[in-house]
Amino acid sequence: MGREVVKLVLQDEELTLAAAVDRSLHDIDAGLLVGLPEAGVAVTTDLEAALSAGGADVLVDFTIPQSAYSNTATAIKYGVRPVIGTTGFTPEQINELDKQCREQGIGGLIAPNFSIGAILMMKFAAQAAKYFPNLEIIEYHGDQKLDAPSGTAIKTAELIAEAREELRQGNPQEEETIEGARGGYYNGFRIHSVRLPGIFAQQEVVFGSFGQTLKIRHDSYERSGYMPGVKLGIQKVMEYTGMIYGFDHFIE
């Protein structure tokens, strides 16, 4: 994802690449790294040094949950607006980062998913839940994804919970003979996480009612599909103060 962001920035006349950070690479031109002409920006392993140089307005982070919080806090410390595609933040962490952003007078964005199609899927699911309160979420990712359920599934569940009252589904005498077989429990419904090689990113929300079912599904096939949303996030984060959680705030 980081390489796709570098491609986006280098190929967009409205954006300028100020720095590129990768803890496993250094002293490589960022343009050459992504198969483009030299950009004049060497990849560094030191995030703090890159941000303290003062050339960046926005940090785009696609890393791992274990480092995303500290990366975000470091960006805010230097007055650089964070646009975060990494998932795994707790509500307490988001609240703390919002406080830090407001103290610095800058905006920030944590987006579990930058795909406009995925955001529409979430919004459609929340609408459907008003009429089909019995549902389950099934999300599919590759076997190297570290968090389960995905940030997209959690955000979908939160939007659904706002639209419908908690309803404990299924037979009250239901019993799992294998632990976890029914998935994770959230607000009365279940979330299932599939992790297999060969899968990129898909999610479906399955609604059940008397004599009918409804499925709302989104499939991502490659990383470039997220880039229009990343660019919009970069632009929007310059316009407000505080940390926003969820790209859905920008989609009417």
CA–CA gap between residue 119 and residue 38 (Å, rounded): 35
CA 41, 20, 60, 222: dihedral to nearest 10 degrees?
100
Cβ(116)–Cβ(228) below 8 Å: yes
26 is known as an active-site residue = no
141 is known as an active-site residue = yes
Identify the active-site residue in 26, 130, 145, 231.
145
Identify the active-site residue in 7, 141, 218, 231.
141
CA–CA gap between residue 60 and residue 20 (Å, rounded): 10
Please choose, from the candidates 79, 83, 96, the residue with its C-alpha nearest in 3D space to the C-alpha of residue 235: 83
CA–CA gap between residue 161 and residue 126 (Å, rounded): 8
User: DSSP 3-state assignment of 220?
Assistant: strand
Residues taking part in catalysis? 141, 145
